[in-house]
Amino acid sequence: MDEIWVVRDGERIGPFAEDEILRAYESGALRGADVLWAEGLREGATVAETFAQMRKTILTSSQELALASIRPPDNPADSPYAPPGARVADVADRLAAPTVYAGFWARFAAAVLDGVVVGLLAGFVGFVLGFLGGVVGFGARETSLLGGILGLGIGWFYFALTESGPRRASPGKRALRLQVVTADGEARISFLRATGRWAGRYLSVLPLCLGYLMQPFTARRQALHDLLAGTVVLQIGATRRWLIALAIFLVFGLVALGAALRAIEMVGR
């Protein structure tokens, strides 16, 4: 089992790997009433009931959790770890809070953070490429062409690998507590779908970024590339407003600075 979710107070947290769940249990970070759930299971099991059924086995972070085979005891009192009233409930009942689709500014901030990371990676690769190009005798045209191809490859792998990975989000989206999932079942997307979503971003840019600007006005806050790829972006935690404010300040501050420098240049002519 690759991914396990923790449902606490109506909020879905995760996903986590099995060894992460075991370490969290050993450290006391998990509560007895927290519910563990994995895709494909109709019902989840409370932490107390789950680990009580592992009997007196010594828990280690290398032990297999095997959540799929766990069933709650017929009598909750049989579980020495179960708090009063502990029970297994249908996951839908425990996810009382409605699905929250990511807003425009949260996604904007995530895109800015990801842009910074990709830019730094591309800048480093460009520096190395320029150095090697000078050594082997590449001309400026060949170096520029190869740099453009590598830049596209970096962006592709960065987004496709992270958004189809266990965290379902690029680093920028993770910082803003966002996740990319399928629109039809809110499941983890495949690498192929993530690739299509990445490619669709170029259509969202044209013309005048209308594919992005339409996002607040669609039913599930989908941009054009979300609609094309069949994905939605979820807000899975409290919005980090300070990060949004920082991203807005960074972008518009740089735009204002560039405009000011341009104006100074024109006056100096």
Question: Quick one: tokens of 95?
Answer: 């996810």
Query: How many whole angstroms separate alpha carbon 205 and alpha carbon 158?
Result: 19
Judge whether residue 87 has pLDDT over 80: no
Q: Please give the backbone phi and psi of residue 196, each rounded to the nearest 5 degrees, phi first.
A: -60, -40
Residue that is written with structure tokens 């044209």 in the block: 206
Query: How many whole angstroms separate alpha carbon 139 and alpha carbon 196?
Result: 33
Instruction: Classify residue 22 by its DSSP letter.
Output: H
Judge whether residue 61 has pLDDT over 70: no
Query: How many whole angstroms separate alpha carbon 212 and alpha carbon 129?
Result: 32
CA nearest neighbour of 43 among 74, 77, 88: 88
CA nearest neighbour of 232 among 189, 175, 171: 189
Judge whether residue 235 has pLDDT over 80: yes
Enumerate the domain spans of the chain.
Answer: 4-94, 104-256
The pLDDT tens digits of the residues spanning 16-55 come to 888 778 877 777 777 777 888 877 666 677 787 777 765 4
Please tell me the predicted confidence (pLDDT) of residue 261. Answer: 87
Work out the pLDDT band at 207, boundaries 50, 70, 90: confident
Mean pLDDT, the chain, integer: 78
Which is more confidently placed, 130 or 9?
Answer: 130
User: Range with the lowest mean pLDDT among 111-120, 142-151, 186-195, 248-257?
Assistant: 142-151
Cα dihedral 107, 113, 116, 121 in deg (nearest 10): -100
Work out the pLDDT band at 102, boundaries 50, 70, 90: very high
Tell me the HSE value of 97 on the side-chain side, using a 13 A CA sphere: 15
